[in-house]
Amino acid sequence: MAVKLTGRSGSTKLIARRGYGGCDVMSRHEGRVAVVTGAASGIGRATAALLAREGATVIAADVNESALAWTDSEDDIVAAPCDVTDEGANEALVSLAVESFGGLDAAVLNAGVGMSGHIATLPMEQYDRTMDVNVRGVVLGIRACIPAMRARGGGAIAITASTSGQRGDPNMWAYNASKAAVINLARAAALDLGVDGIRVNAVCPGPTITGMTERLKGAPAAFEALRRRTARQQWATAAEVAAVFGFLVSPEASAVTGTAVNADGGIGANTGQFLPPERSTT
Ligand SMILES: NC(=O)c1ccc[n+]([C@@H]2O[C@H](COP(=O)([O-])OP(=O)(O)OC[C@H]3O[C@@H](n4cnc5c(N)ncnc54)[C@H](O)[C@@H]3O)[C@@H](O)[C@H]2O)c1
């Protein structure tokens, strides 16, 4: 595993002292160690950056090694090329956290692939790939974290599910199935691991502008249709979703486990029968 190690000593981070329920939000991850998968772009990249900004040392893992180059200029983020479907690679990420930084407090298991195709015709290899990355990759990530988090006396794991795991989408059955699986996985794993002080939650983003959805810009009708179905008539940014992860894996969320939190702009609140009112332009 190629790894770029940088020290924390040169960090010039500003730690703002802003009160939030007695907690110092901007430094709530100070001294903590986190792993984020799928961190080369989109939601994972925004989450890795947020956790580092709030004080954590972050291991940014992704199968796309060259796209991890953004971490080169970050003092507190270590790039770790890794395929989450590989058991040994997940274990190596946690070993890196333990051996180089003294332990592991948080994991955001976010790597995922989109997949579309009719249920009658999508090649089974593509279904298998979807389940491998989106479900097996998360299971392996959770299992790898357990010994290190137990040794630490606890930890927090958050999984990127989707609003597509809560209902179906035409031609997205494989993705729908994979994201539904990890929502229930978060509940079940939370029950197994609560006794160890390990919390497990899922986040369900709705339409979010990232590498995965960039291609929709070439299909303006689909892009617009998704926007119109949100309550706020707006796609989310990756940073908005990252903010939810920042809370869930922080000590502030100590009572939150075994649940799925929607960060979907309200698209999941809609039965889909009617479009919400359009935002006024005046
Ligand atoms: N963008 C959305 O609208 C949206 C909505 C709901 C859920 N999600 C979920 O958010 C997560 C992040 O996706 P994103 O939208 O930021 O897209 P993205 O394509 O920008 O990021 C996904 C990252 O996962 C990495 N990845 C893929 N397979 C991997 C593997 N086997 N091992 C390690 N890394 C791997 C990719 O290289 C990529 O960097 C995914 O799980 C996705 O399903 C996205």
Greatest extent of the chain over all pairs of C-alpha atoms, in Å: 57
208 lines ligand 1 (CB under 6 A): yes
User: What is the C-alpha separation between 268 and 158, in angstroms, rounded?
Assistant: 20
Residue 60: enclosing H or E segment and its boundaries?
Answer: strand 57-62
Atom of ligand 1 nearest to the CA of 205: 6
DSSP 122-167: S-HHHHHHHHIIIIIHHHHHHHHHHHHHHHHT-EEEEEE--GGGTS
Residue nearest to atom 7 of ligand 1 (CA): 162
User: Cα(63) to centroid of ligand 1, in Å?
Assistant: 11
Which among 65, 61, 98, 52 has a CA at the least distance from the CA of 80?
61
User: Cα(12) to centroid of ligand 1, in Å?
Assistant: 30
Is 127 in the active site?
no
Q: Which domains are seen in the chain, by residue range? A: 23-263 (3.40.50.720)
Atom of ligand 1 nearest to the CA of 238: 16
Give residue 2's pLDDT.
53
Which among 243, 210, 218 has a CA at the least distance from the CA of 40?
210
Which residues, 6+ apart, have CB-to-CB distance to 82 below 8 Å? Answer: 1, 37, 61, 62, 63, 89, 90, 92, 93
239 lines ligand 1 (CB under 6 A): no
How do the pLDDT tens digits run along the chain, 282 residues long?
A: 455 443 343 333 333 333 344 457 789 999 999 999 999 999 999 999 999 999 999 999 999 999 999 999 999 999 999 999 999 999 999 999 999 999 999 999 999 999 999 999 999 999 999 999 999 999 999 999 999 999 999 999 999 999 999 999 999 999 999 999 999 999 999 999 999 999 999 999 999 999 888 878 788 999 999 999 999 999 999 999 999 999 999 999 999 999 999 999 999 999 989 999 997 766
Cβ contact 64:263 at 8 Å: no
User: What is the C-alpha separation between 149 and 257, in angstroms, rounded?
Assistant: 15
210 lines ligand 1 (CB under 6 A): yes
162 lines ligand 1 (CB under 6 A): yes
User: What is the C-alpha separation between 59 and 7, in angstroms, rounded?
Assistant: 13
CA distances, 43 to each of 60, 127, 204, 252, 272 (Å): 12, 23, 12, 21, 25
User: Cα(130) to centroid of ligand 1, in Å?
Assistant: 11
Q: Which residues pair with 257 in a beta bridge?
A: none
246 lines ligand 1 (CB under 6 A): no
Cβ contact 174:131 at 8 Å: yes
37 lines ligand 1 (CB under 6 A): yes
Give residue 55's pLDDT.
98
Which residues, 6+ apart, have CB-to-CB distance to 128 below 8 Å? Answer: none
Q: Supply the pTM of this predicted model.
A: 0.93
User: Cα(62) to centroid of ligand 1, in Å?
Assistant: 10
Q: Of residues 101, 175, 235, 247, which has the active-site annotation?
A: 175
Give residue 225's pLDDT.
93
Q: Which residues pair with 33 in a beta bridge?
A: 57
Residue nearest to atom 2 of ligand 1 (CA): 208
Give residue 282's pLDDT.
63
